[in-house]
């Protein structure tokens, strides 16, 4: 994040504090920067305002964040965000304190209540409410023509999150690669890249990168690489083998070969981009892939390797998540409070290690995104290795 981003995130968090949220600080920084960038770009363009397709409204935080970013460029931002959701929070979810509070204030958690709350926030922030349009719509059912009706020139950015099914990921990939839906160069942001309940995000990202539909645009602290559309067409299904199993994150969504190729490919790419922390997080998800495909002792061996390699300066939350899922499969009991008790993990719990971890986190807050000029995927046949041709350290917003 740049220092300006950090201040913007604080401002956005205050503006959105009444909206239950699925966004982290780094997502907020990216969405605000994207909102600013699109608003600037659209100002010099003749064919309509900048349009964002937000695939998952929840309570509107992502949609609002793009607009707050655009409003840093113009007092009357022209940006238009179309946010789709089924607006069907499960009953148990409605009992979460932030959602229960929202329902008490707005009467429900349906589309109209979320729209009313967004209108109120827009009014408070001096933003035109027409910047955000909410559609109650299943992403599996929406058509490219309907989306084209909203953004005739195509969307300039798409936000993809978790909380969906592998079937929905197939629909999303189809829409994102449809020339009627996205413009060439449209920004593609994967929120929740490291979520255990959406392992297909990494697989989709890798497939689109490998087949040349996406190109990595920037490496951002704390979140997934940000991509842009460089080719349209039909990439085929990402989730090509769907078998629902319990626990749900153990459901099969693609062939073993595809899933492993994606994690291996992403890990190699992140290594070459000198992103050890991101690579370790992706490898933690790989533990899930091994468990899904019944390779429990391989999962244990990978966990041991990651534990030994995990740097003291890096918080090990992702590793703990992986360990807990492994223990769940091994013992049949789900316990999300389990802690690793190895010698290596003890070293990450000392006062000095915790200090280093805090320092690293704060340094991430002020780290600028790395614009990846040309990440060339020269998938060398043997081993599918990946080579970035050049990685430049520059802010991309003004470039």
Ligand X SMILES: C[S@@+](CC[C@H](N)C(=O)[O-])C[C@H]1O[C@@H](n2cnc3c(N)ncnc32)[C@H](O)[C@@H]1O
* Closest separation in Å from C-beta 94 to ligand X: 12
Which residue's CB is nearer to ligand X, number 138 or number 298? 138
* Closest separation in Å from C-beta 194 to ligand X: 13
Which residue's CB is nearer to ligand X, number 67 or number 377? 67
* Closest separation in Å from C-beta 92 to ligand X: 14
Which residue's CB is nearer to ligand X, number 201 or number 357? 201
* Closest separation in Å from C-beta 164 to ligand X: 4
What residues make contact with ligand X under the rule CB under 6 A? Answer: 21-23, 56-58, 61-62, 84-86, 138-140, 161-164, 168
* Closest separation in Å from C-beta 84 to ligand X: 5
Which residue's CB is nearer to ligand X, number 163 or number 185? 163
> What secondary structure, in 3-state letters, does the chain show?
CCHHHHHHHHHHHHHCCCCCCCCCHHHHHHHHHHHHHHHHHHHCCCCCCCEEEEECCCCCHHHHHHHHHHCCCCCCCCCEEEEEECCCCCHHHHHCHHHHHHHHHHCCCCHHHHHHHHHHHHHHHCCCHHHEEEEECCCCCCCHHHHHHHCCCCEEEEEECCCCCHHHHHHHHHHHCCCCCEEEEEEEEECCCCCCCCCHHHHHHHHHHHCCCEEEEEECCCCCCEEEECCCCCCCCCCCCCECCCCHHHCECCCHHHHHHHHHHHHHHHHHCCCHHHHHHHHHHHHHHHHHCCCHHHHHHHHHHHHHHCCCCCCCHHHHHHHHHHHHHHHCCCCCCCCCCCHHHHHCCCHHHHHHHHHHHHHHHCCCCEECCECCCCCECHHHECCCCECCCCCCCCC
Which residue's CB is nearer to ligand X, number 164 or number 325? 164
* Closest separation in Å from C-beta 20 to ligand X: 7
Which residue's CB is nearer to ligand X, number 133 or number 140? 140
């Amino acid at each position: 994040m740049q220092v300006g981003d950090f201040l913007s995130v604080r401002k956005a968090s205050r503006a959105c504090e009444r909206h239950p949220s699925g966004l982290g600080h780094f997502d907020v920084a990216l969405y605000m920067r994207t909102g600013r960038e699109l608003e600037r770009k659209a100002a010099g363009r003749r064919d309509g305002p900048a349009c964002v397709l937000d695939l998952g409204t929840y309570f509107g935080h992502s949609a609002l964040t793009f607009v707050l970013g655009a409003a840093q460029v113009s007092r009357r931002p022209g940006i238009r965000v179309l946010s789709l959701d089924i607006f069907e929070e499960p009953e148990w979810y409605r009992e979460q304190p932030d959602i229960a509070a929202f329902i008490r204030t707005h009467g429900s958690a349906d589309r109209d209540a979320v729209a009313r709350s967004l209108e109120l926030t827009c009014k408070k922030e001096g933003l035109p409410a027409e910047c955000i349009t909410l559609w109650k719509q299943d992403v599996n059912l929406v058509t490219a023509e309907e989306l084209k009706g909203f953004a005739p020139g195509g969307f300039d950015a798409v936000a993809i999150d978790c909380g969906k099914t592998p079937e929905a990921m197939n629909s999303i990939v189809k829409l994102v690669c449809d020339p009627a839906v996205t413009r060439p160069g449209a920004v593609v942001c994967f929120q929740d890249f490291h979520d255990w309940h959406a392992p297909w995000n990494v697989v989709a990202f890798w497939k689109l990168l490998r087949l040349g539909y996406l190109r990595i645009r920037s490496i951002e602290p704390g979140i997934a690489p940000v991509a842009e559309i460089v080719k349209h067409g039909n990439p085929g299904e990402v989730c090509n083998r769907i078998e629902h199993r319990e626990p749900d994150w153990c459901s099969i969504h693609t062939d073993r070969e595809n899933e492993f190729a994606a994690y291996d490919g992403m890990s190699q790419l992140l290594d070459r981009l000198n992103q050890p922390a991101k690579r370790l997080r992706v490898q933690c998800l790989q533990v899930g892939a091994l468990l899904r495909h019944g390779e429990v002792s391989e999962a244990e061996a990978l966990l041991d390797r990651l534990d030994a390699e995990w740097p003291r300066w890096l918080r090990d939350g992702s590793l703990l998540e992986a360990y807990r899922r492994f223990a769940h499969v091994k013992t049949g009991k789900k316990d999300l409070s389990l802690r690793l008790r190895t010698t290596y993990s003890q070293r990450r719990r000392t006062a000095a290690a915790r200090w280093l971890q805090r320092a690293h986190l704060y340094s991430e807050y002020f780290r600028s995104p790395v614009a990846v000029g040309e990440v060339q995927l020269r998938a060398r046949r043997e081993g599918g290795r990946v080579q970035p041709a050049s990685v430049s350290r520059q802010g991309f917003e003004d470039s």
